[in-house]
Structure 1
Amino acid sequence: MKTVQVYLNSIQKVNSFSHELEQFDNDFDLVSGRYIVDAKSVMGIFSLDLNEPTTLNIHATDSEMGPILEAIKPYIVSEDPK
């Protein structure tokens, strides 16, 4: 698992972010405070506070991580060095 901070501050960003994740079979969790939602769910994303960056947990192997990070690169504001 890898953790990154993403910033989804507009409707367009939420829609395109969710669409990018749909191309992968992996699980993605968005965490905001005590809430955790499926990052592929547009409705779930909109239930979170999007005024601040949100934590994205990517459940993938090391070999799958490269294409995923490349696809979501425009939304990432910081990465966990792990």
Structure 2
Amino acid sequence: MKTVKIKFDSIEAASDFVKIVAQFKTNFDLMTERRVIDGKSILGILSLDLSRVLDLQIEEETDEIMDAIAPYVASKEASEKRA
């Protein structure tokens, strides 16, 4: 399991993110201090404060997944510290 920091700069970016992660069979959970949202749920993501950096927990990390979500990763250094 890997955790990375994710940041969306628009609603369209969040929508594109959902389309990307929906292609993979593994689980993606977006987390705030109080909530855990399915990363494949656009309605769940839109219920979050998109101006904040979110934690994305990936159940089974692969290079393919990391390449696909790279445009949304907020800080590689921050995510490596949490892994």
TM-score, length of structure 1 as denominator length? 0.90
Give, in whole Å, the separation in 2 of the partners of 1:53 and 1:65: 22
Q: Which residue of 2 aligns with 1:74?
A: 71
Give, in whole Å, the separation in 2 of the partners of 1:8 and 1:18: 11
Secondary structure of 1:77's aligned partner: coil
Give, in whole Å, the separation in 2 of the partners of 1:2 and 1:65: 10
Give, in whole Å, the separation in 1 of the partners of 2:41 and 2:29: 10
Offset, 1:9: 2.6
| Contact 1:5 1:78 (C-alpha < 8 Å) held by counterparts | yes
> How many pairs does the alignment contain?
79
Give, in whole Å, the separation in 1 of the partners of 2:9 and 2:48: 11
Q: Which residue of 1 aligns with 2:21?
A: 21
Unaligned 5+ segments in structure 1 are none
2:54 aligned with 1:54: yes
Q: Which residue of 2 aligns with 1:6?
A: 6
2:41 aligned with 1:41: yes
Offset, 1:8: 1.1
User: What percentage of aligned pairs have identical amino acids?
Assistant: 39
Secondary structure of 1:8's aligned partner: coil
Mean CA deviation greater in 3-12 or 67-76: 3-12
